[in-house]
């Protein structure tokens, strides 16, 4: 969107779909519904999106980009790599907590099918999701160069870290962490700290290749 100009119809439709998704999940999002919310004719949404899947793809892409922006902004405020990782993971947790329906859409089976539909070269949705993952792997790689993150394939470490935090978030969203005396949020923060601790390099430790870490 160009600064100083009103959002165009496509942008307004995406925003309406974003809101409807948050209010009632994917089932609440229809082309007719977003058109009515924006105040355009019944046929207008079809000029921008072939079907509901196309509209939801745009919303999922927006969600990945918003998540990435939030994580990057948070990272800039941290002083060292361990602090960056903790801040980034908590930003991920916060996004999922604030937008649970969007989070479920982003990491559900539907998104996998949509990525495949974009073809082998990928498309906007694939690129947006990959950008978030590559950012995490890049942070870990920088930490390895600094000697503060343990050795290993940065992509593998990013995948393991992401999977762990995703599982933690699934427990939080389902209410399982509410049983803890500390409460869900404090428990999440504590466990995120444990995840980051597991990423730190240990002096004198031996990596998978047999080489001693710094």
Burial class from Cβ neighbours inside 10 Å (0-12, 13-18, 19+) for residue 4 reads exposed
Dihedral over Cα of 26, 32, 35, 36: its sign: negative
Joined tokens for residue 42: 């019944």
CB 210 within 8 A of CB 194: no
Task: List b or e across 110-148, with b for residues whose CB sees 16 or more CB atoms inside 10 angstroms.
Answer: bbeebbeeeeeeeeebbebbeebeebbbebbbebbeeeb
How is residue 50 annotated by DSSP?
S
pLDDT tens digit string along 40-85? 999 999 999 999 999 999 999 999 999 999 999 999 988 889 999 9
Hey, is 138 helix, strand or coil? helix
| Per-residue pLDDT tens listing for the chain (214 residues) | 444 444 699 999 999 999 999 999 999 999 999 999 999 999 999 999 999 999 999 999 999 999 999 999 999 988 889 999 999 999 999 999 999 999 999 999 999 898 888 887 789 999 999 999 999 999 999 999 999 999 999 999 999 999 999 998 888 888 776 655 555 677 888 899 999 999 999 865 444 444 544 4
> Nearest-CA neighbor of 164 among 89, 214, 94?
89
CB 96 within 8 A of CB 71: no
Strand partners, 200: 149
Joined tokens for residue 208: 């998978």
Task: Estimate the crossing angle of helix 184-199 against helix 81-98, to 10 degrees.
Answer: 140
């Amino acid at each position: 969107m160009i600064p100083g100009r009103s959002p165009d119809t496509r942008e307004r439709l995406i925003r309406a779909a974003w809101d409807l998704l948050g209010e009632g999940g994917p089932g609440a999002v229809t082309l007719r519904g977003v058109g009515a919310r924006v105040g355009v004719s019944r046929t207008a949404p079809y000029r921008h999106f072939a079907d509901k899947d196309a509209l939801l793809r745009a919303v999922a892409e927006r969600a990945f980009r918003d998540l990435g922006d939030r994580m990057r902004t948070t990272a800039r405020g941290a002083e060292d790599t361990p602090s960056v990782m903790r801040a980034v993971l908590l930003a991920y947790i916060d996004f999922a907590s604030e937008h649970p329906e969007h989070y479920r859409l982003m990491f559900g089976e539907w998104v996998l099918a949509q990525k495949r539909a974009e073809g082998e070269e990928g498309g906007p949705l694939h690129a947006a999701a990959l950008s978030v993952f590559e950012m995490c792997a890049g942070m870990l790689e920088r930490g390895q160069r600094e000697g503060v993150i343990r050795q290993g394939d940065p992509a593998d470490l990013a995948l393991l870290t992401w999977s762990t935090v995703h599982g933690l978030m699934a427990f939080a969203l389902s209410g399982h962490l509410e049983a803890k005396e500390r409460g869900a949020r404090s428990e999440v923060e504590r466990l995120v700290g444990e995840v980051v601790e597991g990423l730190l390099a240990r002096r004198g430790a031996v990596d998978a290749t047999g080489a001693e870490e710094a």
